[in-house]
Amino acid sequence: MTAQTLIDTARTLVAGDKGLLAMDESNATCNKRFATLGIPQTEAARRDWRELIVTAPGLGDSISGAILFDETIRQKTNAGKPFAKALEGVGIIPGIKVDTGAKPLAGHPGETVTEGLDGLRERLAEYAGMGARFAKWRGVIAIGDGLPTRACVRVNAHALARYAALCQEAGLVPIVEPEVLMDGGHSLARCAEVTEEVLHKTFAELRAQGVLLEGMLLKPNMVLPGQKAAVQDSVEAVAEATVNCLLRTVPAAVPGVAFLSGGQSAQLASARLNEMNIRFKSRMPWALAFSFSRAVQQPALDAWKGDAANVSVAQQALVLRTRANQAARRGDYKEA
């Protein structure tokens, strides 16, 4: 596998106005979302949901790549096609989440370190054999009283860089996802300060471990006030704080930044991405794209409710959101 292959895949994932679809919820997360709607929390229901997504008419017009979970990459459509093959068939590059979850960080109450490095080389080889061309790993950073600690930022940055180096060795483009959570009552300024520090440390580790910046993508949080903050800043303020933070920390060699949505509403996530692409496009050296899960899937899941009779309407709700975010990449988004 050559460096050029990694570079080509990374560029393709953020080319034009398409974005990524995160459908890599672990069983626990997927079941939690199903439970709120009374959908059975079974492997069969999770497969049905992922089939609805993968076979949504027109999905490939706005989505360049989809991130799968271990269970999902092993599942097939009703027609017997592995999901990775079904995605490829509509021009969507299959990817895979390879971390095994955020676990409590010893000696640091309220903080986590993401695990999954043991045996990763072998797992990456298996996933590449199943058709995955990129991978994803999420480190989680909480803001709170005295949080995050330096230890938490450091171990998560280190693990992200070790994962990224292993991915590139296996020929898979790493999507590096350091997420600063929006839980809590902190201000926009505090989120900006923490996100800047986290991205700075992450890129220092990526450099230390020899990761090819041209052959990776960054999946960060937007810079947002905490969900419980008294002041909820405007779309314009969020866009400006986010772009300023990225300009200070993300090297121009990285081909693209694809945001997570993190619990924002579908509409706000699109509006904020749109504003960044309208006002700051000429200042940004990387493509500014999306890699949303909830902000794309939730309206569709609400419409589906686990009922086969709702599949078509749910698929339309899904593609409505992927197209909205496609428009936001061009700075053309308007909520209907």
* Cα angle: 293, vertex 296, 297; to 5 degrees: 75
**List 17, 25, 51, 240, residue binding ligand 5MM (CB under 6 A):** 25
219 is catalytic: yes
Residue 24 touches ligand 5MM, criterion: CB under 6 A: yes
Residue 323 touches ligand 5MM, criterion: CB under 6 A: no
Q: What's the CA gap between 174 and 117, in Å, rounded? A: 14
Least CB distance to ligand 5MM at residue 295 (A): 5
Are 114 and 157 in contact by the 8 Å Cβ rule? The answer is: no
Question: How many Cβ atoms sit within 10 Å of the Cβ of residue 267?
Answer: 15
For ligand 5MM, the closer of residues 286 and 290 by Cβ is: 290
177 is catalytic: yes
Q: How many residues bind ligand 5MM (CB under 6 A)?
A: 16
Binding mask of the shown chain, residues 138 to 177, with x at each position contacting ligand 5MM by CB under 6 A: x---------------------------------------
Residue 46 touches ligand 5MM, criterion: CB under 6 A: no
The H-or-E segment that residue 249 falls in is helix 235-249
Q: What's the CA gap between 300 and 324, in Å, rounded? A: 14
Identify the sign of the CA torsion 15, 20, 152, 123. negative
Binders of ligand 5MM among residues 239 to 268 (CB under 6 A) are: 260-262
* Cα angle: 128, vertex 287, 246; to 5 degrees: 105
Phi and psi torsions of 265, nearest 5°: -70, 160
Least CB distance to ligand 5MM at residue 103 (A): 12
Active site residues: 177, 219
Residues of this chain that interact with ligand 5MM (CB under 6 A) are 22, 24-26, 29, 67, 101, 138, 179, 260-262, 292-295
